[in-house]
Amino acid sequence: MDLDYVRWLGHQGAPCPERLRGREPPLAFVVVHTNGIHRCKIQPCACLRCPGLIDQALNAYLFPGTIDLPQTLFTHAVLRDAHIDILTSKKPPHAYIKKLERKTRHATSAKSKNRYREFNYPNRREDLITVPCFACPWPGVNLPEDWENTSRDLRYIYRIFMGADGNHSLHKKSKRDDKTDYSLAGGRAFFADAEKMAAFAKKTSKDRTVVQTCSGFKVTRSQRAGKFRNMDISGVVAITCLRHGCFFSRAVVDLVGNEQFHLVDLAMCGAFESAYKLLEHLLSYDMGCTYLVGLMNRWDEWNLPLEMRKVLACMKILLPQMHMLAHKESCQIDFAMCYKQGTGHSNGETVEIAWAILNEIGVATREMNGGARHDAICDSINGYNWDKMQGLAEYLAHKLGEKLLLQLDQVVDFAGLTYAAGPDLICEWAEQDIDEEAFTPADYKRRVERRGATFGSVYVLDKSKVPSEGQAYEALMESARSVTSTNADKAVSKAGGKRVRLTPLDVKFIHMCHGQRAVPPDKQRQAYW
């Protein structure tokens, strides 16, 4: 749309006195605003010490489409609106430009030139600042001064909960990339540094370990054959905050092929940068029972930071509640979050919620170059973290009141169960080993060897003390026969009828009504012939 309007730069929008003395015509520009794409005239300042054209445009809240002879300017309002629109709708920038073109055509019949190429330039910010999780333990921010002196039995209060998981929806197709297109974040956002990832991948290229669970389920089998064909990057693996669902900085790593433990190690290295000073760490990973076995050896082999090795050795590793059903029964007990001290009601599946939201941008990012893809994913993750933090304070305050009331109910229930069990059973149960400490890479082998072949968990049913399936069936049949011969006679005599053979449905009804003083007349007609 042509606007008969001249925008003066400098002098706070007033005409430049030097320009008024001369006769130089204004410059023709395309200005993109929230209401459409417009052609208008720009008159820069010509004073003696005025800055260049690009600096003058930036001072006037106009962002150039390029730094070399720009012909397109974007208002800050349209950049803010586009940023929010892309984060919330998960649509590519191309869709937003199409919307602006439609708005322009509604006002004029002339077709506007597509400005998608120029629009991509100002949306690549020079630096991406990540939004952290403000509710997780953060020394110097939300922890008391003496938190390091907390007794061992209460250290779980300041424990950091982390979750690891791979995602194959945020992949990248094989294509001819622009070699000059690199991430402007430069390792300062959610992805690990690109050069660091490339060097690490080259060093670990000979590692062909097949990732599988303790039950022999290989992760490779869960992926469709040929799924990663024509892909440079098959997805990402990330470390998230388990309690609140936020992503850690520098803890997202590109996957090449299937999920691999050494790439999870690299993501853990990035997550530890902001959390290794804490006293306790817990990781939930759907391959946790096999991941911890060779973790320390891999950390040494790949020359990962030694200052984090001590923290890594004491890190507790468990399984997510839903994924652990694919594991052996022993792992479902040893690595269950509900049986370990200090885990509360955490289910370990928080990262799956994040993937369900972020997978929507995969349709756009899989077509991008490497740098643009990293920046787009980081921007979406940053927006996701910000949305989480927006309502977190109110949510936690609400949950605190809710949990205090629930605690009262549970105390009453626990007291009732304790009274019903009696002192003898309580003393017997108190002497049993509940094994409430989670496994760590440092003590896993030693604790398993110490158990011996006769070890039995208190959470596993002792089949020697319960009747077999056949014995239970015989007991049920005997119970049914006794009901038919004795209780049925009494029920029929009360109803004034003759003795008849009862169907299984009749037996169930007698069980239900047994103990009542009288059978309702309408039920008598339904139950007996």
Confidence category of residue 359, pLDDT binned at 50, 70, 90: very high
Nearest Cα residue to 168 out of 99, 254, 76, 286: 254
- Tell me the one-letter amino acid at 39: R
Count the Cβ atoms, other than its own, within 10 Å of residue 423: 9
User: In this predicted model, what pLDDT tens digit does every residue of 229-270 receive, in sequence order?
Assistant: 888 899 999 999 999 999 999 999 999 888 888 889 999 988
Residue that the structure tokens 């209780």 belong to: 487
Nearest Cα residue to 74 out of 64, 84, 82, 66: 64
**Could you give the CA distance from residue 475 to residue 13 in angstroms, rounded to a whole number?**
94
Mean local confidence (pLDDT), 467-483: 78
Nearest Cα residue to 310 out of 277, 271, 285: 277
User: In this predicted model, what pLDDT tens digit does every residue of 289-301 receive, in sequence order?
Assistant: 999 988 888 888 8
506 membership: H or E segment, kind and range: helix 504-513
The set of residues, in sequence order, having a beta carbon less than 8 Å from that of 124 and lying 6+ positions away, is 184, 372, 375
pTM of the model: 0.67
Q: Which long-range contacts (CB under 8 A, 24 or more apart) does 269-274 make?
A: 269/192, 269/304, 269/305, 269/308, 270/192, 270/239, 271/162, 271/239, 272/305, 272/308, 272/311, 272/312, 273/249, 274/132, 274/248, 274/249
Q: Is the pLDDT of residue 486 over 50?
A: yes
**Could you give the CA distance from residue 134 to residue 355 in angstroms, rounded to a whole number?**
21
User: In this predicted model, what pLDDT tens digit does every residue of 63-89 receive, in sequence order?
Assistant: 888 877 888 888 888 888 888 887 787
Contact yes or no for 378/191 (Cβ under 8 A): yes
| Beta-ladder partners of 283 | 162, 317
User: In this predicted model, what pLDDT tens digit does every residue of 166-185 receive, in sequence order?
Assistant: 999 999 998 888 877 888 88
Q: How far is the CA of 90 from the CAs of 86, 377, 381, in angstroms? A: 5, 10, 11
What percentage of the chain carries pLDDT values higher than 90? 20
User: In this predicted model, what pLDDT tens digit does every residue of 374-386 receive, in sequence order?
Assistant: 999 999 999 999 9
- Tell me the one-letter amino acid at 81: D
Query: Can you give the three-state secondary structure of 190-254, one letter per residue?
Result: CECCHHHHHHHHHHCCCCCCCCECCCCCEHHHHCCCCCCCCEEECEEEEEEECCCCCEEEEEEEE
- Tell me the one-letter amino acid at 345: H
Confidence category of residue 527, pLDDT binned at 50, 70, 90: very low
Mean local confidence (pLDDT), 274-291: 90
Nearest Cα residue to 274 out of 127, 141, 381, 148: 141
166 membership: H or E segment, kind and range: strand 160-167
Which string of b and e fits 207-223 if b means at least 16 CB within 10 Å?
eeeebebbeeeebeeeb
Write out the two tokens for 527.
Answer: 């139950």
